[in-house]
């Protein structure tokens, strides 16, 4: 059976990516590891390769969503049963990868979100980001009837069906986040959460800072509302084209 895959989108993560890959080898040894270097200007690709990851390099920075979709296309092309996406800055704990995959392997879910918000968590999100996360959680709950406490988490496990679905043009190329939970729900794909560990204090750059913050909130709110009313037939047709290899073939 083809092994599951860990997908790591990375941009200028030379300082952390080697440790992330090494930790995955130690704690998720049954997974292969693919690092998508999104046009980094440092030695991210070399550090990831030296640590034992398979590396794909974008010729220039194309955005977080594009980097993720490159990993999804690789997983679909290789026939992976599932993939777990994890950030390259070291804030996610590699011990959680196996636990994230369990609901999919047991047939209980199609997409698993790693939540930082649970009774045993010591993670404290900055106030503005916490308010934003709560806003999106409320939007998702109102749109789907499903409570997802951490809809903006970057730690996710995706089944083969979701991977194929995400290889279509329904997947955004900038900030795929809470809007995708609504889209999954509208297409009958099951979502659940697993409590995870989030490490703090790492010198990583957030993509949600400065002038990007109000744009992100506006764009994501609009995307959630649009996905709430998007015709299901259009999405299903796009996913079916991917399965048949007619478009967006990895």
Lowest mean pLDDT among 54-63, 109-118, 208-217, 218-227: 208-217
Q: Does the pLDDT of residue 144 top 80, yes or no?
A: no
Distance (Å, rounded) from C-alpha 187 to C-alpha 173? Answer: 20
pLDDT given for residue 249 in this prediction? 42
**Residue 208 binned pLDDT confidence (cut-offs 50, 70, 90):** very low
Identify the three-state secondary structure at position 85. Answer: strand
Q: What digits encode the pLDDT tens for the residues 149-169?
A: 888 888 999 999 999 999 988
Q: Note the pLDDT of residue 203.
A: 45
Q: Does residue 249 fall inside a structural domain? A: no
pLDDT at position 211 is 41
| Residue 111 included in any domain | yes
Q: Are strands 191-195 and 5-10 parallel, antiparallel or unpaired?
A: unpaired
pLDDT band at 244 (very low <50, low <70, confident <90, very high): low
pLDDT at 47: 98
Question: What local confidence, expressed as pLDDT, does residue 5 receive?
Answer: 98
Answer yes or no: is pLDDT of 217 > 80.
no
Query: Domains in the chain: how many in total?
Result: 1
We report the CATH number of the domain holding residue 91 as 3.90.550.10
What is the token pair recorded at 230? 């998007």
C-alpha–C-alpha distance, residues 105 and 31, integer Å = 13
Strand 156-159 relative to strand 111-115: parallel, antiparallel, unpaired? antiparallel
CA–CA distance, 106 with 81 (Å, rounded to integer): 12
pTM above 0.85, yes or no: no
Position 250 in a domain:
no
Give pLDDT, residue 120.
67
Residue range(s) defining the domain that contains residue 58: 5-244
């Amino acid at each position: 059976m083809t092994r599951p895959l860990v997908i790591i989108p990375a941009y200028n993560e030379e300082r952390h990516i080697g440790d992330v890959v090494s930790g995955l080898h130690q704690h998720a040894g049954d997974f292969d590891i693919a690092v998508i270097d999104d046009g980094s200007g440092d030695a991210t690709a070399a550090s990831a390769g030296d640590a034992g990851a398979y590396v794909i390099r974008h010729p220039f920075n194309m955005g977080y969503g594009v980097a993720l979709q490159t990993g999804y296309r690789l997983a679909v092309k290789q026939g992976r049963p599932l993939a777990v996406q994890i950030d390259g800055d070291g804030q996610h704990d590699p011990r959680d990868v196996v636990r994230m995959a369990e609901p999919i392997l047991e047939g209980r879910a199609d997409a698993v979100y790693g939540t930082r918000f649970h009774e045993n968590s010591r993670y404290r999100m900055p106030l503005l980001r916490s308010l934003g996360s709560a806003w999106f959680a409320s939007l998702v709950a109102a749109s789907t009837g499903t409570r997802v406490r951490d809809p903006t988490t970057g730690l996710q496990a995706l089944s083969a069906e979701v991977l194929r679905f995400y290889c279509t043009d329904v997947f955004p190329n900038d900030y795929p986040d809470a809007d995708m939970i609504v889209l999954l729900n509208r297409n009958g794909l099951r979502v659940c959460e697993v409590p995870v560990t989030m490490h703090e204090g790492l010198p990583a750059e957030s993509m949600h800072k400065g002038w990007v913050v109000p744009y992100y909130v506006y764009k994501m709110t609009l995307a959630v509302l649009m996905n709430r009313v998007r015709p299901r037939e259009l999405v299903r047709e796009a996913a079916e084209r991917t399965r048949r290899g007619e478009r967006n073939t990895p």
